[in-house]
Amino acid sequence: MKLLFNKDGQGSIEIKEILGFTDKDIKFEKLKPTIIPATDDLILLIGKPIYDSVLGIYEASSASDSDKELLLRTQYAILLEAYRNFVIDNDLSHSPNGRFNRVEQNQKIAFEWQIERNNKSMERKYYKAIDSLINYMDANVTAWKNSDAYKASHDLFVRLTKDFDFYFNIESSRYLFIKLCPGLRKSEREDILPRIGKDKFDELKTKLKTNVDTYDKVLLELIKEATVYLSLSWGIPRMSAQLFPEGVLEVADTSRLSMSARKSIADNRAEALSQRFKADAESVLLKIETHIKIINKPEIEFQPIKPNFNIDENFVNC
């Protein structure tokens, strides 16, 4: 696989210029083992055709300003992921006698809480960089809009981040939305389809592209709300807390606790929040069931009231 770095052997210079925050030059050869999996991860997200087009921009002798911008955003996202994984191992020296803290002259070992805070900060920066890249491609890259990765969410009831934000604010994060799409799809298949039936399910999907009548608008909004809550219930225990807006999965200061204790608290927090969203979803699912009964209830057939009249008598029996 060709990488977006080390053109003409200038990889170390590229890393310094793109990241900008490192104290000194990092040799490309040292970072390459983490650049490769970071590149693989990005290709899974944006697709091989898009990556190849960016690679073509990198290898070209000249490029437009918009192409240069796309290249830079792509390189930055890859390098952030590569660097944060690199420093985790590079903080330790791997010697024949085991692992030791790596400390150079006139330097102090960072406290564990400082390292953890920095790791979280770099992880959040990486997700922001991915969001920035996707938003740029949404606005400027036609090939991206035609890709399978872009179209993956457009067959769902919740298709846009603004639709998701209406029920729970993910700060219009396209990356988080894409990560939650499997949960949205799962909830449609397992929770919505059995309740409304295949005919209504397919009908609503079709109407999303045209017009939705009054009854269907109510049903559609209920479906969107339920699938948003169910996707969050599915995703929160499975994804990094740093993917979500700050505060969603944050717990009280635990810097004085051991790593295992902190992990236990974080896991409990995630599970509790997951169950809360599941309960919210179940409440909406009941409304969907009620609404479907109203829609499917046959209208009462009109029958004129016949008076109890005896033709042999001159009066009406009451």
- Cα 93–chain centre separation: 35
Q: Are the C-beta atoms of residues 75 and 4 closer than 8 Å to each other?
A: yes
Cα of 127 vs its chain's centroid, Å: 10
Predicted local distance difference test score (pLDDT) of residue 99: 45
Full-model pTM: 0.81
Q: Using alpha carbons only, what angle is made at residue 171 by residues 240 and 54, rounded to the nearest 5 degrees? A: 75
User: What value does the mean pLDDT take over residues 149-174?
Assistant: 91
CB contact set of 59 (below 8 Å; sequence gap of 6+): 2, 7
Q: How many residues does the chain have?
A: 318
Which segment of 36-50, 266-280, 281-295 scores lowest on mean pLDDT? 266-280
Confidence class for position 182, pLDDT limits 50, 70, 90: very high
Give the C-alpha separation, 58 to 43, whole Å. 16
Q: Which residue has the higher pLDDT, 250 or 20?
A: 20
Confidence tier at 234 by pLDDT (50, 70, 90):
very high
The Cβ of residue 135 has, within 10 Å, a number of other Cβ atoms equal to 16
pLDDT for residue 108: 60
pLDDT at 286: 97
Specify the pairing of strand 92-95 against strand 98-101: antiparallel
Beta strands in 57-206 (DSSP E): 92-95, 98-101
Out of 32-46, 164-178, 210-224, pick the least confident. 210-224
In the chain, pLDDT over 90 holds for what percent of residues? 61
**Residue in this structure with the two tokens 């236990």, named with its chain if needed:** 264
> Which H helix or E strand runs over 167?
helix 161-167
157 CB neighbour count, 10 Å cutoff: 21
Using N-to-C axis directions, what is the helix angle for 214-235 and 259-296, rounded to 10°? 160
Measured in whole angstroms, how far is the alpha carbon of residue 27 from the centre of its chain? Answer: 33
The residues near 221 (Cβ < 8 Å, ≥ 6 apart) are none
pLDDT of residue 318: 45
Q: How far apart are the first and last CA of the chain?
A: 93
pLDDT at 131: 96
Query: Phi, psi at residue 101, to the nearest 5°?
Result: -65, 135
Helix (H, G, I), strand (E, B) or coil at 88: helix
Between 151 and 283, residue with greater pLDDT: 283
| Helices (H), ranges, 171-258 | 174-187, 193-207, 214-235
The yes-or-no verdict on residue 301 having pLDDT over 50 is no
Average pLDDT of the chain, as a whole number: 84
CA dihedral 112, 116, 122, 128 (to 10 degrees): -160
Least confident interval from 37-46, 154-163, 209-218, 247-256 = 247-256
- pLDDT tens across 17-61, in order? 999 887 667 889 999 999 999 999 999 999 999 999 999 999 998
